[in-house]
Structure formats: structure tokens, C-alpha cells
Amino acid sequence: MKRSTIVFSLFASLFVMATALRADMGSVWVKAVSHDEITIQWNGPESGSIHALATDKPLYRISWEAVDPYNNGYPLSSNTSKVLAGEEGTEFTLTGLMADTYYRVKVEAFAMKRNTYGEWVNADFRQIGWVKQKTHASPFVRNVRVAQTARETITVEFTNAEPEAFDVVLFVYKQKWSSVPFSEIVGTALADESNWGDSVWPQSDETSGAVKKASESSVEATFFGLSQAQAYEIAVFGYKLGTSEGVRLGRASARTGGYQPMAKQEDCLTADYQEVLNEYGIRVSAGFSGLPLINIVCQDFAQICEDIQPVVEDDEGENLGNNLTALLFLIDGYPEIFSEWQDNQESRGGVTLEGYLVESHGKLHQRIHNELDVVPTLFRRGDANTDGIEDLSDAVAILDFLFKGGKRLYCLDAADSNDDGEADLSDVIHLLGSLFRGTEDPKPPFGYCGVDPSEDELGCEEYNMCTP
């Protein structure tokens, strides 16, 4: 067996093992709801997880806030929290709530994380999950409840005091921050020529979908095949037979269970340190005379404000004018745009998230980097411009990068054709010789996706032409 094949097989085995260890922090759902109470339930980290409870008696922190319209401002005056000891169970009832009001409820566990060296580190309150739930109106008319969440499913219950008002109830979901409006999903689903009847729309997938049910006083629908550790927006519509115009009856938000590797510091901040993200947003805004962060980003990416912001604010009730909400929107929903905007910030001398952490939160910066999941990036040696093909354009990309201040190379390992630990002119000569003179091919992995078999400091920040 060739050395390159051995290396790739070894990596594949390690990747599967690492994925198997990545269980999750758990999930959160709503057991019951009334006009002034919401009862939530949750499960915590599983045995064998990359997380573990840090105390013999589990500690959980439940935080809730009125969010109408939904606004991730930090902190909010309405924010309330409660710490529960393990013997109090994994159920909690929020009391004294306002009727007909959305609440965002977050559950955290006091837990440690296993780092890449196998050490349990950094005991702290870490997010299990959250739901957005509306209390009943008084008198009760109708409501949507997140009845259960798991790794790849969300179950929703719709209760209606006037079921005869509609013939059909349509449950619709989409990934949070999606640029596709609910109206488009509904229109496509209802226009589908296939007879999907009282069931799941056949075109449903991990990004969006729909379930159709006959109208009753209590109707339940489960969405299957969802992405793990992903936030979803859910809306319920009512229809009379023979009509194409529906009525939006309610909405909710929930996050599936499971665990996604956190390979970037912004991923850790969105999960567990949103107050630091909020500080960063204020800092950036101050540098632009108080201009909301979303407007600053839209100066570089106009399509955000023109095409996406109206959909998010209408469908999800989000206020992207809030700096923290805007950062969560970019990091969770549009990471490529966030990364490019950070590059723009650096090039014009503005403050970047990395720079702010080093300057103002040095210990947290080090702590986060000690927790990041280091999973090697697959790449193709010689593909410097990361288009999936090794050709003349790659040599040109390296030359532009070295001598003309050209486009940034996001995978320096791919540009290091001779694998000497440097991205320089010798790589251009080596690559051109291979392409046009039949000399030695670039070092492994060349012509296929693999990992760097050599230890060097170049690294591969981003390469999207390979999937493990």
C-alpha cells in the first residue's frame, strides 16, 4: 500500500473515531405551556461525549427573557436566571410570565470539555440548547409548542380552540437565518404536483420542508432528517380547501441536539460567550460613529441588506439592527461573508474579532484556542487557488500572492507544491515542471484529497473542494 493511501486511511479512521466521541451537550424542549407558565425539559451530556458534567451533583442554569420582537441584545433587563442542583431534576417551570408573549429559554450545564490532548478542561456553564416559545393568549385561541427535540428531529404540537376554522394545517420549517422566505417554501409545497396528502412533503430535507395535517384541536408533526446542532425556525399555517391563501397561525424556534465540531473561535463565542461578541459589536460600531454593525457590513456586502435582512426580520422577528444579533446572523448563517468581512476590517485597519480578543480578553482567547476541535483539513496539493484542479492558474495564483499582493491563499499547504514547509517561488517552479515538463509531481496529497503528511506551520485554513 502506498504511503499516501496509508496516511489517508489513518486520517479517515481517526476522523470516524473523533466523530463517534462527539456526542452532545443534550437538547431542550417544552413539556407544557399556559398563559403564564412554560415548563421545559432537557437532557444533559451523554456518556462518552466530548463534554462531561463537572460536579458530582449536576448543576444546570436556566435563563429566560421576553423576546417580542425576538432580539438577542445582551444583557436584557428582562433576563432572569435560575441555577438548579442535580437532585431537582431536568425539568423546570417558568412562572409569572406575560400572556401571548414569546420567551427565549436557554439551558446550560456546568460542564468540562475534553481537549485535543484528552484532558478535561475549563469547567463552566455551557449551553445545552434553547427554545423560543409563546405563552397562550388569554382567553386561549391557538399556540405552537416545541414538544420534543433530538439530534435529527423536532416535534411540534399545534393546539387550536377553533379547529373548524381551517381544513388543513401546514407545518413548515427552515434553517435559521435562511434567505428563503416561508411564503416561497409554502408556495412550492402546495404547488407540488405529487399527491403528498396528509404527510411529509417529499421535497423536505435538512434545510427546509413541510408536513400537512388535517385540522384538529391538537395536531402534532415531526420533522425528520434535520442537521445536528442546528437552529430551525418553524411556522404553522391554516388553509381552507380550495383556497391558496393561508393564515399564519403561529411560530416557534428550536435547536436540534448533537454536536458540531468547533473549529473557529467565533463558534465558541456564539455558543458560550455571547457577552464578548456583544462587546465586540459595540467596539466596531463605535469606530463608525455608532452605525449599526449590520449597516457597516452592508457597505461591503449590499446583498445582505437588500435580499436577506428583510426575510430574516419578517419571518423570524429578528432585529438585525442589534449588533449582537447581527454577529450571530453572520457567524451562524453566513460564515464565508463574516470571514471576508473580517479580512476587509484588517486591511483597512479596523478592529477584528481576533484582535479584540487578544487585546481585551487575552485569557479567554487562550482558553478558547485550547478548546477548539483540531480536525485536519483535507486538500489537494498544488491546487493553490482551491478550485479543485491543479493547473497553470495555480502557479499564477502563487505568483500573484508572493509578488503582487494578490488574492489571499486560504490553503498554504496546497500551495506548498514541494512540501518543504514554505510557500515560495520554488513551489511555482516545481508545479510548472510537473505540469509541462513531466518532472516530479507535487508531493502527496496530489491528485486526490488527503492530509499533509509533514509537520510544518503553513496549515490549511479553508479548502472546500474535499469532503471527508
Q: What is the pLDDT of residue 48?
A: 67
Among candidate residues 342, 371, 400, the one where a domain is terminated: 371
234 with 279, same domain?
A: no
- The answer as to whether 348 is a domain residue is yes
Final residue in a domain of this structure, among 207, 223, 255? 255
23, containing H or E segment: none
Residues 334 and 186 in one domain: no
| CB-based contact 219:169 (threshold 8 Å) | yes
Residue 54 and residue 31 share a domain: yes
Asked if 210 and 161 sit in the same domain, the reply is yes
32 — phi, psi (to 5°)? -155, 155
Q: Can you read off the three cell numbers belonging to residue 15?
A: 476522523
Confirm whether 139 is domain-assigned: yes
CA atoms within 13 A on the CB side of 46: 14
Better-scored residue on pLDDT, 221 or 66: 221
d(Cα 280, Cα 352) in Å, to the nearest integer? 9
Decide which of 236, 255, 274 is a domain's last residue. 255
Q: Are residues 281 and 312 in the same domain?
A: yes
Number of domain units in the chain: 2
CB atoms within 10 A of CB 272: 19
CA nearest neighbour of 383 among 367, 370, 394: 394
The pLDDT of residue 138 is above 70: yes
Instruction: Note whether residue 30 is domain-resident.
Output: yes
Partners of 63 in the beta sheet? 81, 106
Say if residues 83 and 20 touch (Cβ distance below 8 Å): no
- The residue count for the chain: 468
Cell 425528520 -> residue: 224
250 forms beta bridges with 236
pTM of the entire structure? 0.74
Among residues 91, 122, 118, which one has the least CA distance to residue 28? 91
Task: Confirm whether 29 is domain-assigned.
Answer: yes
- Domain identity same for 289 and 362: yes
Nearest CA to 86 out of 111, 65, 114 is that of: 111
Q: Domain holding 38: CATH number? A: 2.60.40.10
Residue 451 pLDDT: 76
Tell me: do 205 and 303 sit in the same domain: no
Domain span holding position 234: 25-255
439 lies in a domain? no
pLDDT attached to residue 79: 64
Tell me what the mean pLDDT of segment 72-101 comes to.
Answer: 75
Across all residues in the chain, what is the average pLDDT?
A: 86
pLDDT band at 383 (very low <50, low <70, confident <90, very high): very high
The residue type at 318:
E
Residue 100, domain member (yes or no):
yes
Q: Report yes or no on 184 lying in a domain.
A: yes
SS3 374: coil
**Helices 353-360 and 335-347, axial angle in degrees (round to 10):** 70
Cis before 376 (ω within 30): no
Rounded to an integer, the average pLDDT of 211-240 is: 94
Identity of the amino acid at 98: M
Structural domain includes residue 446: no
**Residue 68: per-residue pLDDT:** 60
DSSP string, 282-337: HHHHHTTTT--HHHHHHHH-HHIIIIIHHHHHHHH---TTSHHHHHHIIIII-HHH
How many CB atoms neighbour CB 385 within 10 A?
23
Facing residues of 121 across strands? 113
* Cα-Cα-Cα-Cα dihedral sign, residues 336, 339, 343, 349: positive
Do residues 220 and 302 share a domain? no
Answer yes or no: do 231 and 300 share one domain. Answer: no
Beta bridge mates, 91: 41
Question: Is the preceding peptide bond at 445 cis, omega within 30 degrees of 0?
Answer: yes
Residues 208 and 280 in one domain: no
Question: Sorting pLDDT into bands at 50, 70 and 90, what band is 431?
Answer: very high
Q: Looking at residue 467, what is its pLDDT?
A: 61
Identify whether residues 174 and 53 lie together within a single domain.
Answer: yes
223 with 88, same domain: the answer is yes
Q: Give 6-58 pLDDT, tens digit per residue.
A: 333 333 333 333 333 334 688 999 999 999 999 999 988 877 677 889 988 89
* pLDDT at residue 348, as a whole number: 93
